[in-house]
């Protein structure tokens, strides 16, 4: 139990409170729904739009505690423009806890609903719904009825990693990519603990300059015996 607690403050074991799934709801042990699924669902968004770290983030929820993550929440990110976007910035909105974007945003036909999880890309010429682990669909349906979706070769991230180790090849999701994605997810969780406050992010300095309370949440105190050298 001491090893499982790790760097978190010691607490007694409680049956049906942490295992086998519930540990991720506790701030000491996990990162909630955003930390659990964010790196999966936001992955195609990051990759397709070539996003980097966000400029600003704001969360809305029914309130959280210092122990567990909130229930349903909406987290709005503002990213700098990329070669794939128009304008100076682009907005990405994360919803969880059963919340979905208004179905009219997707221009869905009658009888079609948004999937339980996934991404909605809103473009100038139409929209794309990308389910989590599923094929994308384009709307308005009648506009893209004859469109042939291009096929891509699937990759195994296990094999890509082994090839990088053995052959010196680059991985598909190296630290240059996964770092900003992880920053984005965890900044959303910091914002979730301060709902309603828009936080500015200085990616170069790794600081939140406009909110000292949020800035203090970027790190934590590690339990004695589990300190990480260089991490304060």
Which phi and psi (to 5°) does residue 184 adopt? -60, -45
Q: Mean pLDDT per segment of 10 residues, for the chain of length 232 residues?
A: 95 91 93 94 95 98 86 96 93 96 86 93 94 93 92 86 91 89 97 97 97 96 90 68
Dist CA 231 CA 222 (whole Å): 9
Nearest to 69 by CA among 24, 113, 102: 24
49: in domain: yes
Domains in the chain, number: 1
This prediction has a pTM of 0.92
pLDDT at 180: 95
In whole angstroms, how far apart are CA 110 and each of 105, 107, 125, 130?
Answer: 13, 9, 20, 18
pLDDT at 51: 96
pLDDT at 232: 60
Q: What is the CATH number of the domain that holds 90?
A: 3.30.360
pLDDT at 104: 83
178: in domain: yes
Ramachandran category for residue 21: left, alpha or beta (phi over 0 → left; psi -120 to 50 → alpha): alpha
Burial 78-102 (b: 16+ CB within 10 A, else e): bbeeeeeeeeeebebebbbeeebee
pLDDT at 86: 87
226: in domain: no
**Which domain range does residue 116 map to?**
31-216
19: in domain: no
48: in domain: yes
85: in domain: yes
């Amino acid at each position: 139990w001491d090893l499982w607690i790790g760097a978190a403050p010691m607490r007694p074991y409680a049956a049906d409170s942490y295992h086998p799934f519930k540990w991720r709801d506790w701030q000491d042990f996990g990162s909630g729904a955003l930390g659990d699924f964010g790196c999966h669902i936001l992955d195609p968004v990051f990759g397709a739009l070539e996003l980097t770290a966000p400029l600003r983030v704001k969360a809305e929820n029914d309130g959280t505690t210092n122990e567990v993550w909130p229930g349903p929440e909406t987290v709005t990110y503002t990213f700098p423009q990329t070669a794939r976007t128009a304008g100076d910035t682009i907005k990405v909105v994360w919803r969880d806890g059963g919340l979905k974007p208004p179905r009219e945003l997707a221009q869905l036909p009658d009888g079609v609903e948004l999937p339980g999880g996934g991404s909605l890309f809103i473009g100038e010429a139409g929209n794309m719904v990308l389910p989590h682990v599923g094929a994308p669909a384009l709307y308005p349906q009648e506009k893209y009825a004859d469109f042939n979706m291009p096929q891509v070769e699937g990759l195994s991230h296990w094999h890509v990693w082994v090839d990088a180790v053995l052959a010196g090849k680059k991985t598909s999701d190296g630290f240059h990519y996964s770092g900003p994605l992880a920053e984005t997810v965890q900044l959303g969780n910091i914002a979730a603990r301060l709902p309603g406050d828009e936080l500015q992010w200085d990616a170069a300095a790794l600081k939140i300059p406009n909110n000292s309370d949020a800035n203090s949440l970027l790190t934590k105190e590690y339990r004695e015996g589990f300190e990480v050298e260089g991490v304060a």
